[in-house]
Amino acid sequence: MASLADSLRQLLLDPAEAETLDVHGVTEAAVLVPLHVLPGDGLAAVFTRRRNDMRQHAGEISFPGGRRDTADRSLLATAVREAHEEVGLKVQEADVLGALQPTPTIVTGFAIYPFVALITRPKAWKPNASEVADVIELPISDLITGYARRRVLRRGLAFRTDTYVADGHLIWGATARILADLLDRLTLLGEHA
């Protein structure tokens, strides 16, 4: 696990430097991209499915995260705090390795800063019932094979976009862009299984 962490660190952006990158968006937000090794399935990523009654991004698959609070000393602090609030991941269970390229949300105006962590998987996830419908763990290999440009229908508008489908879960939008950056870096590392 230590060699995997060291290898990943070399491919990721420095977290402090990533926070200085400009991205179009009115509201700063951060997500944690939690990775861990699933026995028999290799490296996996942890996502949340937002509740269907949420005002923004209802029912969508995303990484744990949210908007920056004034008390957060950094965007990395936002990502770690939000992961704890949304899925119960404790700070000591996450080894933050680096960052990915920040990305905007097109409609809702968020500037999202993603931070990658190798985690010790908790015995049980503790999803925040007010925000999170499910915690989803998907093998990286399934995400890679589930990539396609697909037609997505949202709010009566149809459009073609990059998507990932794994275990029946559709990932698109900003989460798909973050995932694409991660998978590109993992390809360089050779971590597909």
Domain boundaries, given as residue ranges, for the chain: 2-137
Measure CA 114 to chain center. 7
Task: Report whether 29 contacts 68 (CB < 8 A).
Answer: yes
When pLDDT is cut at 50, 70 and 90, the band that residue 191 belongs to is very low
Please give the DSSP secondary-structure letter assigned to residue 141: H
On the question of pLDDT at 34 being above 70, the answer is yes
pLDDT number for residue 57: 58
When pLDDT is cut at 50, 70 and 90, the band that residue 193 belongs to is very low
Mean pLDDT of 142-153: 93
Residue carrying the six token digits 């939690």: 34
When pLDDT is cut at 50, 70 and 90, the band that residue 54 belongs to is low
Other beta carbons within 10 angstroms of residue 128's beta carbon come to 15
Read off the tokens for 103. 């990305």
CATH number of this structure's domain 2-137: 3.90.79.10
Q: What's the whole-model pTM score?
A: 0.92
